[in-house]
Amino acid sequence: MFNKIGELINYWHVIALSSELEKGKSLKRNLYQVPVLLWRDKALQVHALLDVCSHKKAPLEVCDFAQNHVLCQYHGWKYNDEGRLIDIPSSQHLIHKMKCKVDNYSIIEQNGFVWIYLDTENTSKSSPEALSEVSSENWKHYQTSMLFETNEELLVENFMDATHTPMVHDKLIRDNDKKTKHSITITQTSETVHVSYAETNEKIGLGLDWMLGGNLSVSHTDEFLMPNLVRVNYYINKIHRFQAFIACTPLQDGQTIAFVRLSFQFKWFNLLIKLVIPFLAKKVLKQDFIITQKQFANMQIFKTQPDQNIDYDAMHNKVKKIRNNKINNLPTRDETTTQRIDLTL
């Protein structure tokens, strides 16, 4: 079913927040324009089937959360959680003669995300991104999601892009009136793009001077991970203080969900930050939504007009190349390249 995305089927995708699937509840969600039925059974396990009956292509619904039985809404054909046909109300004598089966997908719950693996034939799959660097009890977390009206490639680009923050997130992330020079290094492998910002005395965020004192030394990294993941880390006075992990999951053309996990460790200020971070996250994401919506709409109009790139845009081009090679099943050499750039934010 996912033959149009090439090797992207060989990666784990975030398809939901764990909190979206309550016990005995189901959820329908498209992924790359393909409908998937998810549900959490009475034993709290999450299951996923292709949301289509093999008879006449009608959608499915969960009819028994204890036995994990799924029912066609049209003719009542019934399947188990492995997608195997177990009942045909009108023709029970034919059940064992039918060869039909609905695709079922491997699911892993980890770090508050529901991850789905799209290749139904691969039995040697690895695990999803572990996020082990923010797993100690000193770290606190906040998770949310937002539907964006853009594609996943542009959304990945947005979350990795620091140059838009003084304009779009003025006074929230950076101050457009107080510029800071940066020296950055872009490193690419066959699977990742890593952007490292050298240490500066930059002023970022709200209230960090008040919480941590003045003369703060700040460095940060932006990282792309296959298939559509972004990880942003901030280090303040050489201590890892903040991480944003974002999965940009494509539903269909022009619709992408950003699943966001914000992790922070500020000692006794953690409680205060946990109170304000939902408001700040919502505001930042809304600002990103507005600008990326406008950008995507314009890109549909000006498809033939080429972008005029600066050297900083090299990281976005590297991400595009990696993803396009995977989608088109093209070989990607396992090599590391490094590029250094000066930037003012």
135-344: CATH number:
3.90.380.10
Here the tokens at position 210 are: 């008040």
Structure pTM? 0.93
Between strands 140-148 and 255-264, the pairing is antiparallel
- Residue 168 has phi, psi (to 5 degrees) of -80, -35
Give the pLDDT of the chain (345 residues) as one tens digit per residue. Answer: 787 899 999 999 999 999 999 999 999 999 999 999 999 999 999 999 999 999 999 999 999 999 999 999 999 999 999 999 999 999 988 888 888 899 999 999 999 999 999 999 887 778 898 898 999 999 999 999 999 999 999 999 999 999 999 899 988 877 777 788 889 999 999 899 999 998 887 766 665 665 665 667 889 999 999 999 999 999 998 999 999 999 999 999 999 999 999 999 998 889 999 999 999 999 999 999 999 999 999 999 999 999 999 999 999 999 999 999 999 988 777 667 788 888 888
Strand-pair partners of 116: 13, 107
For the chain, strand residue ranges (E) read 12-17, 25-31, 34-40, 46-50, 60-64, 69-72, 78-79, 85-87, 106-110, 113-117, 140-148, 181-188, 192-200, 218-225, 229-236, 239-252, 255-264, 337-344
Cβ 297 vs Cβ 287: under 8 Å: no
Domain with CATH 3.90.380.10 in the chain: 135-344
Q: How far is CA 15 from CA 39, 64, 76, 149, 308, in A?
A: 12, 22, 27, 17, 34
Residue 243 β-bridge partners: 233, 263
Q: Where in the sequence of the chain do the CATH 2.102.10.10 domains occur? A: 3-117
State in words which class domain 3-117 has: mainly beta
Q: Which of 6, 2, 1, 4 is nearest to 329 (CA)?
A: 6
* CA dist., res. 151 & res. 48, Å (int): 24
